[in-house]
Amino acid sequence: MDFPQRLIDGYRTFRHTRLPIEQDRYRQLAETGQKPEIMVIGCCDSRVSPEVIFDARPGELFVMRNVANLVPPYSPTGLMHGVSAALEFAVQALKVKHIVVLGHARCGGVRAFAEPNAPLSPGDFIGKWMSLIAPAAETVGARGDRPLAAYLAELEQASIINSLRNLMTFPFVRRLVDAGELKLHAAYFDVATGLMSVYDPRTGAFAPVAGE
């Protein structure tokens, strides 16, 4: 069998440690279906797992991950839309109460946008996807004399806010937000320190989570 041994070992640990504790919950979720109140749109980055960061139990979070935690604007075309489909299901079917866009420091996708290199393949899928950051880059402005790390952090956070704006272009999201039945949030996780900041729309800035 070529299945990664690391995953086999991890599953066995899960099977003998966490599963016995969560068994009843898994049975309930199997019988009644999932009813998460929170959707998290996060990055594919292996260092930023929403379930780990938020210490979530099975069934608590509906998670959609993609390169650089981006949300495209509403575009009801005939093309495939993975993020839009997940968003539609979370809001319309699961009726989540919160959507959190979780970005993070040292994001490879954001850096790829800031320092464009030759495409990794003829399709240039990353380059095309990262073009969604362009509106955020306009708000941040040119790098100028700013250190690269500081510029990238600004761009990472501006991109998260841009994804919040794009969420509001979806009619079914805007309708529920305006009715007070759905709330949108933004968070920023520092991989090096493990600290998380949450966006405050009143100040227009990210602030560390209280109690850190």
pLDDT single digits (tens) 33-75: 999 999 999 999 999 999 999 999 999 999 999 999 999 999 9
The predicted structure's pLDDT at residue 211: 66
Question: Does 87 share its domain with 41?
Answer: yes
Enter the pTM of the model: 0.94
Question: Does 28 share its domain with 38?
Answer: no
Question: Does 70 share its domain with 89?
Answer: yes
Query: What sign does the dihedral 63-180-169-130 (CA atoms) show?
Result: negative
Question: Does 9 share its domain with 55?
Answer: no
Q: Where are the beta strands (DSSP E) in the chain?
A: 38-43, 61-66, 98-104, 183-189, 196-200, 205-208
- CATH number (domain holding residue 76): 3.40.1050.10
Domain holding 136, by residue range, is 34-208
- Please tell me the total count of domains within the chain: 2
Question: Does 6 share its domain with 81?
Answer: no
The per-residue pLDDT for range 84-127, each reduced to its tens digit, is 999 999 999 999 999 999 999 999 999 999 987 888 898 889 88
Burial bucket for residue 107 (CB in 10 Å: 0-12, 13-18, 19+)? buried
Q: Say whether 162 sits in a helix, a strand or coil.
A: helix
